[in-house]
Structure 1
Amino acid sequence: MDFLSEVLGETLILGIDSLILGICVNQLSKCKSILNALQKAPVLDIDHTLNKEIKKYPNDTIPYVVIRGLVKPLGNPITSNYNHNVTGVVQRLTIKEHVIARTSAGFWSDQTRTIHEVCNSTPFVLNNGQYEIEVLDALAAQLLDMDVISDKFEPMTPGVIDHVWGFFSGIRQRGLQTMEEMLRDGSYITAIGELSRTHSGQLKIQPPKDGLPLYLTTATKSSLLQKLTSSRDFLRVLLIIFGSVATVASCRIAYKYIKRRRRKAEEETMKRQLAQGRKERRAHAREKNLSEVQLCVVCTENPKEIILLPCGHVCLCQDCSENITDNCPVCREKIQSKAPAFIT
């Protein structure tokens, strides 16, 4: 049996486990880098001290900083589609389809899929009295906390044809959910990102250039640190679990490989012993004092016992024929097969 077929199950488990393990390692590395950067990030107030703080850093840029302030639009804000009294600076409109789908096991389960999503934004700043910081590329924020302005679910009333079609297709429509979320004008949020000052003296916060995430959230720095610490600890537990599975699968493969090698070594030893036994028995059974014509042309000790085909030369003893497999030692013709020869 081929060795790969023997360890096919362990190989599949090891492959899938290694993929998950690699994803966990990558996520843990990202989580650690974000956690370290956030722990070192200074918490600054939007006031007259900002210009003094930013001068302490090269190129008037703080790589990662925590700023809290009130959201204020630059120009006209976005008006809610469902509540005209609500205005904001970032708007997300989402339409989701709710269905009941049949799984491969034959059960029916609720599923939701987004069929349409639109995001709108307008320039805005974080304000504190007469001081303000412009927020750039808010839609690129990894964490963007917004208020739910409207969340409507419109159920569908299927007819007989819909029921029949749903039974055969495996999907039954439940309804559509329309949701509107907004970052409201006047919200008090925490912005975490790269703070820089332009040549004109304008302060701006944006996604960091070193790959760290931009956060626009209502949570505080300590709350974010707790969430990231929990995520880091959870990823460590996953690493231990999947690392243990990978170790067990690798040990199983190594055990089967060593067992296979030992079995092959035992088989080779048995073959050599059997061959040696046959050789000794042949030596006892052979005739002695034969003429030179009757002796093997290679060893010139044992009688000729093997005929080579297709040339038909009877020139080898059994012992020598086991080592000669290519060409006839007499005519050099290619050996295709061998057969015992009985000379009387």
Structure 2
Amino acid sequence: MENGGRPSLGQVILLASTSAATALFYSIYRHKCRTAQTLKGAQNISLNDDLHSLLLDLPGRCVPYAVIEGVVKSVKDSLNSQFVENCKGVIQRLSLKEHKMVWNRTTHLWNDHEKIIHQRTNTVLFDLVPEYGIAGVSVRIVKPLDATELGLETVYEKFHPAVQSFTDVLGHYITGERPKGVQETEEMLKIGATVTGVGELVLDSKIIKLQPPKAGMLYYLSNLDFEGLVKKQESQVRLWRILTVVFGVATCVTLFFILRRQYRHHREKKRLRRLQREFQEAKARLEEEGGDEIRNPCVICLSSEKSCVFLECGHVCACFSCYQALPGPKQCPICRNSIARVVPLYNS
């Protein structure tokens, strides 16, 4: 059998890559699953007059993982949009992103490529207050930029196309890069926007704060409600589970074909050993019958009798020892056709 029954390089690479991808996707799936379960177990707390007294009665005056839904309100100053009038917020992110087409030498296609040229984020202190405004009840948001999901709204977006001369176009085709233009974007967390915050809720002196949680739990400031946030995390869990199953099946299929090839090689070796034993027995019987004259000499060594029938061509021209010595892939020395199998020749 070719390669001694060993798997080919392509099979080894495929098995290694699918196994690594399966392990990676399974690890991400487990992490996403734990994150979703932790989020579902967060304590939902209402912004009302009892919040202060509730935290006073708790150990450490904190809720390790709490859900707060409220309206954004600036503490002192606010941020004004650079492009939209009468648009105020507490978080402002300005971005410049370059868009270009890059030539892929492998697929021979132009692919879209994005690169952030410049990004700046401004923040001011802000609170979450009840939607209908209960006096004195507010939650101070600490380190909002550490949130995994920060619900910013795009308030301005403009694309500036690149102006190119004929010389530039020729140069771009030579270098393999074609600039499309620059996209200018402004995102803001507006004052009055409804936000769902998930984190550690603590009472620090007289100020109630929502801050990044401990023990590896994720911090959220999302424009979705809590139910929508949970559904979004669960959809990510399903995605990674599907990827894990798909690549796991690919790994199992690849392993099955490799093992089947090994089994066939083992079965072929057993068949060859059986044929060799039959040839040796036939040769021993001929020697017992006596006679030094070789009636049908092997066309290769001329010292042993022909004892093989090559299929599918049907030629009887060699002994078994010379058949084994033929280089692979084995071919009939008479007609040069491939030898599919060999059977012993019995002379009576």
Question: Normalising by the residue count of structure 1, what TM-score does the alignment of the two structures yield?
Answer: 0.74
Distance 1:46 1:176, change over 3 A: same
Superposed CA deviations along residues 212-246 of structure 1, whole A, max 9, x for unmatched, are 22111121111112222222223332222222111
Q: Does 1:51 align with 2:52?
A: yes
The corresponding residue for 2:64 is 63
- For structure 1, the residue ranges without an aligned partner over 5 or more in a row are 286-344
Moved more, 148-157 or 47-56: 47-56
Q: Hey, what's the Cα distance between the residues in 1 that align with 2:88 and 2:201? A: 26
Residue 5 of structure 1: CA displacement?
Answer: 6.1
- Match for residue 175 of structure 1 among 181, 187, 192: 181
The corresponding residue for 1:108 is 110
Q: Hey, what's the Cα distance between the residues in 2 that align with 1:274 and 1:197? A: 92
Distance 1:93 1:280, change over 3 A: farther
Q: Hey, what's the Cα distance between the residues in 1 that align with 2:55 and 2:286? A: 97
Superposed CA deviations along residues 168-214 of structure 1, whole A, max 9, x for unmatched, are 1121111110111111223221111121223x242211222122221
Q: Does 1:117 align with 2:105?
A: no
- Match for residue 210 of structure 2 among 205, 214, 236: 205
Residue 98 of structure 1: CA displacement?
Answer: 1.4
The corresponding residue for 1:136 is 142
Distance 1:58 1:82, change over 3 A: same
The corresponding residue for 1:72 is 73
Q: Does 1:153 align with 2:155?
A: no
Distance 1:85 1:272, change over 3 A: same
Residue 83 of structure 1: CA displacement?
Answer: 3.4
Residue 103 of structure 1: CA displacement?
Answer: 2.5
Preserved CA contact (<8 Å) 1:7 1:256: no
Residue 51 of structure 1: CA displacement?
Answer: 3.0
The corresponding residue for 2:39 is 38
- Match for residue 217 of structure 1 among 218, 222, 231: 222
Superposed CA deviations along residues 113-143 of structure 1, whole A, max 9, x for unmatched, are 2222222222222123311111111111111
Residue 278 of structure 1: CA displacement?
Answer: 6.7
For 2:145, give the aligned amino acid: L
Preserved CA contact (<8 Å) 1:41 1:66: yes
For 2:215, give the aligned amino acid: D
Q: Hey, what's the Cα distance between the residues in 2 that align with 1:135 and 1:79? A: 20
The corresponding residue for 2:255 is 250
Name the SS of the counterpart of 2:250 in structure 1: helix
Q: Hey, what's the Cα distance between the residues in 1 that align with 2:226 and 2:185? A: 29
Residue 39 of structure 1: CA displacement?
Answer: 1.9
Q: Hey, what's the Cα distance between the residues in 1 that align with 2:5 and 2:206? A: 67
Percent identity (aligned): 26
Residue 248 of structure 1: CA displacement?
Answer: 0.7
Q: Hey, what's the Cα distance between the residues in 2 that align with 1:194 and 1:281? A: 93
Q: Does 1:234 align with 2:256?
A: no
For 2:19, give the aligned amino acid: S
Q: Hey, what's the Cα distance between the residues in 1 that align with 2:140 and 2:5? A: 61
For 2:116, give the aligned amino acid: T
- For structure 2, the residue ranges without an aligned partner over 5 or more in a row are 291-348
Superposed CA deviations along residues 131-169 of structure 1, whole A, max 9, x for unmatched, are 111111111111111121221111111002111101111
The corresponding residue for 1:192 is 198
Name the SS of the counterpart of 1:211 in structure 2: coil
Name the SS of the counterpart of 1:100 in structure 2: strand
Name the SS of the counterpart of 1:46 in structure 2: coil
For 2:144, give the aligned amino acid: A
Q: Hey, what's the Cα distance between the residues in 2 that align with 1:49 and 1:194? A: 18
Residue 57 of structure 1: CA displacement?
Answer: 4.5
Preserved CA contact (<8 Å) 2:5 2:265: no
Preserved CA contact (<8 Å) 2:67 2:197: yes
Question: Normalising by the residue count of structure 2, what TM-score does the alignment of the two structures yield?
Answer: 0.73
